[in-house]
């Protein structure tokens, strides 16, 4: 008997689909390894993810934040992973069962998608950017092809046994290769981490320390006045945290200015440093939500720096541009003496990487999406009619003062508590105006004035509380705030899109029988 070459032919669709998935895995692993060789190379998965982030409708982003909170990115990547797996399985089945050409065209399409995503970056794309995608597609193609090569069947050996053994061996090798490639890519990328840079920085003491805190700034039942860096919400479009070592960082002040300014991180720290307590608020915060936090920020006054650059009186917008291309924009009129900062410190530490290390903007009274550029690279003086910042074409308002709002922290919705004395408490904010009063009402009774904690300044939230004698049963508690201009928080509910949620926070609490 002579050996006879046969094409791999398997009864079920599972092995072809698996072959497709394995080929995609090793291709993506190879792309990761290549991406690790240069700081500006990026994983194709992240490039594609970025383009998805840039294109999802704003209502869907708000929904993602509502469903997944700050895990929205993990949810997105998991979604991309699931789609990829299905696609690779189909490509595998087509290649092995139908047509090798069609299958390889499917892989080429996949490489083209990565290429487009790499070329479509917000900033810094050039012709080399798609290299990881192209290499990944070639490796995936070769791997998939290898499953279609004819097998030598030894005499006396049943064909399917040979095929099965070979499939298992090939699959094993590809799995190991995929994991090794991906791990190598990861390790290589670590060289570009900014963590070491951050660890090596000692921030100077402020020239102007934060004013002494009055006593009694916290009220029973409310969240801590200062939000720790670990608990501070994180919202941004970056799927992985941009790594910007302070040594390589430079801030440019450009646009409608008399003199452009360029500052290294060292030069920034040499300027007058002020320390201020400011509450940062996200436009996507829903009623009662926690996309708000208060920190002690250390930084350089933005108005001083812009005065030095010399502002063209026709400019009406300050744009903060991030190293990742994200932009915020807010009115020049917001520089009215309030403590707008180029911040380098947060609660006594250099900015955490995920909060914008080495420098970011903090502008009291304006939602973060329009003001708080993290990983700041450039400040541009321009006009609202000349430039739309990132979220404007996505439906959010160009100008975004923070709405008067209040929140109940205790009890939380649907908490079960014992009857008797209970401290209802929470926070309220009207940044740059200040909170004058907070009222609650229980079970549609009359509005009652709560006790306000001491005010730190008009740009921070203010805590309130109310001692309550809880009686058994189900109760509804509603809160509203009044600002120092006499405005009372509207009960009319609106979604975060386009300029922030409004409406009263209401919780239902269940009080046990005595
Ligand atoms: N570079 C960059 N800066 C950004 C964003 C972003 O997506 N990219 N998001 C903004 C938004 S929407 C908010 S609410 C604040 C949140 O800052 P935090 O993550 O430090 O809380 O950052 C702002 N700065
Ligand atoms: Mo935000």
Condensed to tens digits (0 to 9), the pLDDT of residues 332-382 reads: 999 999 999 999 999 999 999 999 999 999 999 999 999 999 999 999 999
Could you count the other beta carbons within 10 Å of the beta carbon of residue 312? 15
What pLDDT, on the 0 to 100 scale, is given for residue 2?
Answer: 45
Could you tell me if 475 and 469 are in contact, meaning their C-beta atoms sit under 8 angstroms apart? no
Residue 486 Cα to ligand 2 middle (Å): 27
Q: How far apart are alpha carbons 403 and 367 in whole angstroms?
A: 9
Instruction: Calculate mean pLDDT across residues 13-18.
Output: 90
Q: Which helix (H) or strand (E) holds 241?
A: none
What pLDDT, on the 0 to 100 scale, is given for residue 3?
Answer: 47
The CA-CA-CA angle for residues 489, 62, 350, to 5°, reads: 85
Of the residues 233, 234, 374, 375, which should be mutated to test ligand 1's pocket, given the most ligand atoms within 8 Å of the CB? 374
Coil, strand, or helix at residue 187?
Answer: helix
The residues of the chain that CATH labels 2.60.40.650 are 405-511
What pLDDT, on the 0 to 100 scale, is given for residue 11?
Answer: 58
> In whole numbers, what is the pLDDT of the chain averaged over residues?
94
What architecture is the 246-394 domain classified under in CATH? Alpha-Beta Complex (3.90)
Q: How far apart are alpha carbons 345 and 366 in whole angstroms?
A: 19
Q: Cβ(372) to ligand 1 under 6 A?
A: yes
Q: Give me 24's structure tokens.
A: 């995609």
Taking the CA atoms of 39, 44, 49 and 52 in sequence, report the sign of the dihedral they define.
positive
Core vs surface per residue 120-159: b (16+ CB within 10 A) or e: ebbeebeeebbbbbbbbbbbbbebbeebeeebebeeeeee
Kindly report the pTM of this predicted structure: 0.94
Coil, strand, or helix at residue 417?
Answer: strand
Could you tell me if 193 and 241 are in contact, meaning their C-beta atoms sit under 8 angstroms apart? no
CA-based nearest residue to 246, from 163, 345, 107, 312: 345
Residue 259 Cα to ligand 1 middle (Å): 28
Pairing of strands 341-346, 151-153: unpaired
Q: Which atom of ligand 1 is nearest to the CA of 361?
A: 24
Q: Which atom of ligand 1 is nearest to the CA of 324?
A: 1
Q: Give me 90's structure tokens.
A: 């189909």
Could you tell me if 138 and 36 are in contact, meaning their C-beta atoms sit under 8 angstroms apart? no
- Domain 405-511 is in which class? mainly beta
Could you tell me if 425 and 410 are in contact, meaning their C-beta atoms sit under 8 angstroms apart? yes
Q: Which helix (H) or strand (E) holds 76?
A: helix 72-93
What pLDDT, on the 0 to 100 scale, is given for residue 1?
Answer: 41
Helix/strand number for the chain, H first, E second: 11, 21
Q: pLDDT per residue over 54-112, tens digit each? A: 998 988 888 888 888 878 889 999 999 999 999 999 999 999 888 999 999 999 999 99
Q: Cβ(50) to ligand 1 under 6 A?
A: no
Q: Cβ(355) to ligand 1 under 6 A?
A: yes
Q: Cβ(326) to ligand 1 under 6 A?
A: yes
CA-based nearest residue to 506, from 408, 421, 417, 437: 408
Residue 294 Cα to ligand 2 middle (Å): 14
Q: Which atom of ligand 1 is nearest to the CA of 232?
A: 21
Coil, strand, or helix at residue 9?
Answer: coil
The residues of the chain that CATH labels 3.90.420.10 are 246-394
CA atoms lying within 13 Å on the CB side of residue 439 = 15
Residue 278 Cα to ligand 1 middle (Å): 15
* pLDDT cut 70: percent of the chain above it: 98
**What do you get for the CA distance between the two ends of the chain, in Å?**
91
Q: Cβ(234) to ligand 1 under 6 A?
A: yes
Residue for token pair 């900015």: 351
Q: Cβ(322) to ligand 1 under 6 A?
A: yes
Q: Cβ(233) to ligand 1 under 6 A?
A: yes
Residue 304 Cα to ligand 1 middle (Å): 23
Q: Cβ(280) to ligand 1 under 6 A?
A: yes
Of the residues 62, 372, 402, 501, which should be mutated to test ligand 1's pocket, given the most ligand atoms within 8 Å of the CB? 372
pLDDT band for position 6 (cuts 50, 70, 90): low
Q: Cβ(282) to ligand 1 under 6 A?
A: yes
Coil, strand, or helix at residue 146?
Answer: helix
Q: Give me 309's structure tokens.
A: 């650059």
- Strand order of the β-sheet with 416-417 is 416-417, 506-511, 473-483, 435-442, 448-449
Q: Which helix (H) or strand (E) holds 426?
A: strand 420-429
pLDDT band for position 151 (cuts 50, 70, 90): confident
Q: Which atom of ligand 1 is nearest to the CA of 234?
A: 19
Q: Would you state the torsion angle of the CA atoms of residues 443, 448, 451, 453, taken in this order, to the nearest 10 degrees?
A: 80
Q: Give me 450's structure tokens.
A: 């709560």
Residue 282 Cα to ligand 2 middle (Å): 4
Residue 367 Cα to ligand 2 middle (Å): 6
What contacts 168, CB < 8 A, 6 or more positions away? none
Smallest CA separation from ligand 1 atom 4, residue:
373
């Amino acid at each position: 008997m002579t050996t006879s070459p046969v094409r791999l032919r398997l009864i079920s669709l599972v092995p072809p689909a698996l072959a497709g998935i394995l080929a995609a895995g090793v291709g993506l692993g190879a792309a990761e390894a290549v991406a690790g060789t240069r700081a500006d190379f990026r994983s194709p998965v992240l490039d594609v993810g970025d383009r998805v982030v840039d294109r999802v409708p704003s209502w869907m982003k708000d929904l993602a934040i509502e469903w997944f909170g700050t895990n929205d990115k993990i949810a997105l990547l998991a979604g991309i992973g699931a789609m990829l797996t299905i696609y690779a399985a189909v490509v595998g089945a087509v290649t092995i069962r139908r047509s090798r050409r069609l299958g390889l065209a499917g892989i080429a399409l996949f490489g083209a998608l990565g290429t487009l995503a790499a070329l479509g970056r917000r900033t810094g794309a050039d012709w080399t950017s798609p290299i990881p995608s192209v290499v990944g597609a070639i490796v995936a193609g070769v791997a998939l092809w290898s499953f279609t090569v004819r097998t030598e069947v030894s005499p006396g050996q049943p064909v399917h046994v040979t095929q099965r053994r070979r499939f298992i061996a090939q699959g094993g090798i590809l799995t190991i290769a995929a994991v090794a490639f991906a791990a190598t890519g990861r390790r290589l990328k670590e060289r570009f981490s900014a963590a070491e840079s951050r660890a090596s920085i000692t921030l100077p003491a402020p020239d102007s320390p934060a004013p002494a805190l009055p006593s009694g700034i916290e009220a029973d039942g409310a969240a801590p006045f200062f939000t720790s860096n670990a608990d501070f919400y994180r919202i941004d479009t970056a799927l992985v945290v941009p790594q910007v070592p302070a040594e390589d960082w430079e801030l440019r002040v450009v646009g409608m200015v008399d003199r452009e300014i360029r500052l290294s991180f060292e030069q920034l720290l040499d300027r007058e440093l002020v320390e201020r307590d400011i509450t940062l608020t996200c436009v996507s915060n829903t009623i009662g939500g926690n996309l708000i936090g208060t920190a002690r920020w250390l930084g350089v006054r933005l108005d001083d720096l812009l005065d030095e650059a010399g502002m063209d009186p026709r400019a009406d917008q300050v744009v903060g541009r991030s190293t990742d291309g994200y932009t915020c924009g807010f009115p020049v009129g917001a520089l009215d003496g309030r403590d707008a900062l180029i911040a380098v410190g947060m609660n006594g530490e250099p900015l955490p990487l995920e909060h914008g290390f080495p420098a970011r903007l903090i502008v009291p009274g304006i939602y973060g999406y329009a003001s708080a550029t993290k990983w700041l690279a450039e400040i541009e003086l321009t006009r609202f009619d000349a430039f739309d910042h990132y979220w404007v074409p996505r439906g959010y308002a160009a100008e975004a003062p923070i709405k008067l709002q209040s929140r109940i922290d205790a009890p939380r919705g649907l908490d079960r508590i014992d009857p008797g004395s209970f401290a209802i408490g929470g926070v309220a904010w009207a940044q740059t105006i200040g909170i004058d009063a907070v009222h609650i009402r229980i079970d549609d009774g009359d509005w009652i004035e709560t006790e306000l904690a001491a005010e730190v300044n008009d740009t921070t939230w203010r805590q309130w509380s109310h001692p309550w004698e809880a009686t058994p049963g189900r109760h509804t508690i509603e809160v509203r705030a009044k600002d120092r201009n006499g405005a009372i928080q509207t009960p009319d509910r609106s979604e975060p899109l386009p300029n922030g949620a409004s409406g009263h926070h209401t919780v239902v609490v269940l009080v046990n029988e005595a």
